[in-house]
């Protein structure tokens, strides 16, 4: 089955070489499948290459770096992935931006190619609507850091075919991931539960509670391996805020309202670990 699967996805295009996109490309390249990472600038691609190299070294040793990177092409042009039979979009959680990516992918990739989104909360149905292949558009939500986290949510939109879901399920399993299928509603399964918890923790901070006390309470009282505020810093405060907004706008339910503190933190550039400051001070570490 794995041989059949590798033949159906001979080359993969990843749009966005950030933390998520780079991690997705890494786990695919580790299976010997050629990957093209497309990002906006050569500087973005240099950062992506350095991040991937660091993660490979951490997990597999420096000796594995060259072999994995030999399967990855870094480019600023979509056309370098025009012969791919699977594309995975991993750009920021802004629907208009994702719709533009899907329009371009639909124009450039072969008619039989599957188009997947790594969105954590946005509508797969909406993305499929701007393509001529809605049955081949699917959610493929990885978790960070991608090379370590086992889960991938497959999100089946209203137009997504069962065949597309099955191909993606087998592909994920080939990469060593555990797959679950989620319905195409804001937040899907994991973030529908997780994001409100992190958002509520932010309300506690806004009310004057100590972030360390909140995190210790959740770790010791509920056996979580990491507190919700440390996790928020790791995910990115901007990502958390955008996901909160997706839930709030998608359900029109006040229980999903984003904590005002999150918006202020985004405006101040306190985006968590990646900026060096979030609910915790990372002393410039990114």
Residue 60 is among the residues annotated as catalytic for this protein: no
Q: Which of 48, 141, 199, 246 is catalytic?
A: 141
Residues 250, 191 contacting (CB under 8 angstroms) = no
Q: What residues contact 265, with CB distance under 8 A and at least 6 apart?
A: 237, 241, 271, 278
Residue 8 is among the residues annotated as catalytic for this protein: no
Q: Is 191 buried (19+), middle (13-18) or exposed (0-12) by CB count in 10 A?
A: buried
How far apart are alpha carbons 210 and 38 in whole angstroms? 41
How far apart are alpha carbons 79 and 108 in whole angstroms? 7
**Strand partners of residue 115:** 87, 137
Residue 191 is among the residues annotated as catalytic for this protein: yes
Q: Which of 120, 123, 242, 246 is catalytic?
A: 120
Q: Which of 89, 123, 153, 275 is catalytic?
A: 153
Q: Which of 48, 71, 159, 191 is catalytic?
A: 191
* Structure token digits, residue 205: 């901070």
Residues 151, 161 contacting (CB under 8 angstroms) = no
3-state SS of 213-271 is HHHHHHHHHHCCCCCHHHHHHHHCHHHHHHHHHHHHHHHCCHHHCCCHHHHHHHHHCCC
Residue 120 is among the residues annotated as catalytic for this protein: yes
Sheet holding 72-75, edge to edge: 72-75, 35-38, 12-15, 86-89, 114-117, 137-142, 151-156, 178-183
User: HSE-up of 193 (CA within 13 Å, CB side)?
Assistant: 3
Q: What residues contact 37, with CB distance under 8 A and at least 6 apart?
A: 14, 16, 17, 21, 22, 25, 45, 48, 72, 73, 74, 75
Q: Mind telling me the catalytic residues? A: 120, 141, 153, 191
């Amino acid at each position: 089955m794995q041989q059949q699967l590798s033949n159906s996805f001979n080359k993969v295009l990843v749009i966005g070489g950030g933390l998520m996109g780079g991690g997705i490309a890494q786990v695919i390249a580790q299976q010997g499948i050629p990957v093209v990472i497309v990002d906006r600038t050569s500087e973005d691609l240099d950062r992506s290459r350095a991040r991937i190299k660091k993660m490979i070294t951490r997990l597999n040793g420096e000796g594995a770096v060259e072999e994995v990177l030999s399967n990855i092409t870094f480019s600023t042009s979509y056309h370098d992935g025009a012969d791919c039979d699977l594309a995975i979009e991993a750009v920021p959680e802004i629907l208009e931006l994702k719709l533009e990516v899907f329009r371009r992918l639909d124009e450039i990739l072969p008619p039989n190619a599957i188009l997947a989104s790594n969105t954590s909360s946005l509508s797969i149905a909406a993305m499929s609507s701007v393509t001529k292949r809605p049955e081949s558009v699917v959610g493929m939500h990885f978790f960070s850091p991608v090379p370590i986290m086992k889960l991938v949510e497959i999100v089946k939109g209203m137009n997504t075919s069962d065949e597309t879901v099955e191909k993606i399920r087998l592909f994920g399993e080939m990469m060593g991931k555990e797959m679950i299928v989620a319905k195409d509603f804001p937040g899907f399964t994991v973030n529908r539960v997780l994001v409100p918890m992190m958002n509520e923790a932010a309300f506690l901070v806004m009310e004057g509670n100590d972030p360390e006390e909140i995190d210790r309470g959740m770790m010791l009282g509920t056996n979580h391996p990491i507190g919700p505020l440390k996790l928020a810093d790791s995910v990115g405060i901007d990502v958390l805020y955008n996901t909160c907004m997706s839930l709030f706008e998608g359900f029109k339910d006040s229980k999903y309202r984003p904590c005002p503190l999150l918006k202020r933190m985004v405006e101040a550039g306190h985006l968590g670990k990646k900026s060096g400051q979030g609910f915790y001070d990372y002393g410039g570490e990114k």
